[in-house]
Structure 1
Amino acid sequence: MPYNCRHCGGTFCADHRLPENHDCTGLQDWNDPQGVFDSGFDDSVNGGGGTSKASSLADKIPINTGAGGPLAYFRGNMTYTFLVLMWLTFAAQLVVRAAFDYELMQTLFVLRPYYPEYVWTWVTSVFAHGGLYHIVGNSIVIFFFGPLVERYVGSRNFAILFLVSGALAGLSQIAIQIVELNTITPLTGGVLGASGAALAILGVLTILNPDLKVYLYFILPVPIWVLAGGYAIFSIFFIGTGGGGNVAHMAHLVGLAIGLAYGQYIKQNRNVSAPNRLEFGGGGGPGGPGGRRRF
């Protein structure tokens, strides 16, 4: 069973779960003049003198990244941090639209095929959403599934997975829209929402434990592989037929593919496994993220 270090955010086996048994960047902040943490068996860990590679790199960052620093809260809590950012971004969308205009809101938060050079929207569009139902659907999925993935890959890798999969999912969607530019004007088209990242999270869990029971709409228990496969088939069908309304099916498919690939990488390179059921409120979570919206 993997263990998550609360000091550096890494994931380790039982033999290396303690900070003194791996290159934990948090050790530099402990008052340990006598080398209490030095096990005597691992030269890579320095109790009183010397620094590890991880520590020397952390020293170059002008922020206290150690166990007691300002970033300590985020280790093990990136899922909830992203959820808060999603809702703050959604509130900012409403404020900007009400106080200024719809065009400014799109410029700040919507990834659009006419303006791919607005690189900030590669990230802001992941946290922005097209409506209350949209953000609630994605929030539920991330809340239930996100902590499981974060626990097994570590907070840093989870943050990278979330941001990269979300951005690439959005870019893949506008790539399709660019092909269709003859029917899209500068004031239409675009994509926003965290469902690409949510599908990536779903994909990781599908590989780690395909039989994980998920309660579809909190009622019907189905294996997570059925849910993931259903989303893949659903997305491929609508991409092929050009339908799907305002749902960004290519973003869903790309996010899921990234999650499946990363899950396979983890499974091949680490000895980890996911639980047989979700452990929130007696187990079970909802089925599938809210659709990533296209405009």
Structure 2
Amino acid sequence: MFRLTPVVKNLLIINIVVFILQYTLSGMDFTGLISLWIIESDNFKPYQYFTYMFAHGGFGHILFNMLGLVFLGPLLEQFWGSKRFLIFYLVTGIGAGVLYSGIEYWRTSELEKDVTSYILEPTPDNFSMFVDEHSRYFRSAVYDFANEFSKNPDDPYYISESKAVVKSTYQNLLNGSSMLGASGAIYGILMAFGLLFPNTQLMLLIPPVPIKAKYLVLILGGIALYSGLNQDSGDNVAHFAHLGGMIFAFIMIKIWQKDRNKFY
């Protein structure tokens, strides 16, 4: 039976308590208050860079994140000490949020430009281009509408509806796009483990096969990058936050390794 170290134990308790509060205080939208919203949203608050990493979207979400924390976290805490491990956890978690915000800010800005351009020239071709360019925000039904619009290019109804669809895409992004979960910090822990103990064998849960830590990090990093660049409308995972946790973990460890006295 593994032994929980002090910081890992406290982080586990905090995550569980917050998860319970998300359900008991659902009437006041507690989850919305502590999730990380995109910067352009009226719901965004700076403190969310800290609070989002203690909230979760469901039992499976918190279960897998906490498994990663309790299996790998104690080893790193014993290796670094409690203070340094806590700093690492918080910085990678906040860093994941920062990268997520940066990517979403760029995406939102590009979307806003395209919305403005379409409103000026609402044609079937431009609508199809808009939908293809921002396909991650649409369900399949929008393509049926685009097909009907192409058959009725001068119909005021389709022109008006197409404008409404385009505008609502931007508004829905502002009001409905948020991130929550400890995944960024957990991916940071995985990166640290892969760098410090690269040849250690880890046992995957699904499928239950052993794999060296360094290969697991490479696989997960590749998946996060690919999935982030090719995200579709049914994928609600913040892949760039996962990647952000790994990037900040890599940077921190390389900085600490320059001063061996501080690192150990």
Query: Shorter-chain TM-score: what band?
Result: 0.5 to 0.7
Query: Which residue of the partner structure matches residue 109 of structure 1?
Result: 34
**Structure-1 separation of matches of 2:95 and 2:252:** 14
8 Å Cα contact 2:31/2:55 also seen in 1: no
State the 1:165 CA deviation.
1.1
Note if contact 1:207-1:264 (Cα within 8 Å) is conserved in structure 2.
no
Matching residue within 202, 221, 237 for 1:247 = 237
SS class of match (1:253): helix
Equivalence for 2:205: 217
Q: Which residue in the other structure is 2:260 paired with?
A: 270
Could you say which residue in structure 2 is the equivalent of 1:23? none
CA contact (8 A) 1:168 1:254 kept: yes
SS of the equivalent of 2:198 reads: coil
Q: Is the 8 A contact 1:125 1:192 kept in 2?
A: yes
Counterpart in 2 of 1:133? 60
Which structure 2 residue ranges, 5 or more long, are not aligned? 112-168
The Cα shift of 1:161 comes to: 1.1
Q: 1:79 to 1:180 in 2, by over 3 A?
A: same
Partner of 2:9: 80
TM superposition shift of 1:117: 5.0
Higher helix share: 2
2:178 counterpart letter in structure 1: G
CA root-mean-square deviation: 2.5
CA distance in 1 between partners of 2:93 and 2:61 (Å):
15
Matched, 1:187 2:171: no
Measure, in 2, the Cα distance between the counterparts of 1:272 and 1:228: 25
Matches within 5 A, 1:1-295: 76-97=5-26, 100-102=27-29, 104-106=30-32, 108-113=33-38, 114-115=41-42, 117-181=44-108, 182=111, 183-184=169-170, 185=172, 186-217=174-205, 219-243=208-232, 245-270=235-260
The amino acid of 1:126's aligned partner reads M
CA distance in 2, matches of 1:145, 1:167: 19
C-alpha distance 78-131 of structure 1, shift in aligned 2 (>3 A): same
Q: CA shift at 1:268, angstroms?
A: 4.2
- Mapped to 1, the partners of 2:105 and 2:255 lie a distance apart of 32
The answer for the alignment partner of 1:21 in structure 2 is none
CA contact (8 A) 1:206 1:260 kept: no
Secondary structure of 2:211's aligned partner: strand
**Any stretches of 5+ residues in structure 1 without a counterpart?**
1-73, 275-295
Q: C-alpha separation between the residues in 2 aligned to 1:240 and 1:180?
A: 11
Match of 2:144 in 1: none
Equivalent residue pairs, number: 196
Give the Cα separation in 1 of the matches to 2:85 and 2:55.
19
**SS across alignment from 2:203:** strand
* TM-score, normalising length: structure 1: 0.61
Structure 2 residue matching 1:130: 3-state secondary structure? coil
Larger RCO (alpha carbons 8 Å, 6+ apart) = 2
- For 2:43 and 2:201, locate their aligned partners in 1 and report how far apart those are by CA, in whole Å: 39
- Partner letter of residue 83 of structure 2? R
**117-126 or 256-265: bigger deviation:** 256-265
CA contact (8 A) 2:228 2:238 kept: no
1:115 Cα shift?
4.5
- CA distance in structure 1 between the aligned counterparts of 2:224 and 2:209, rounded to whole angstroms: 22
- Mapped to 1, the partners of 2:107 and 2:250 lie a distance apart of 28
The one-letter amino acid paired with 2:23 is L
Shift of 1:120: 2.1
Aligned-residue offset at 1:121 = 1.4
2:45 alignment partner, SS class: coil
**Alignment-derived partner of residue 143 in structure 2:** none
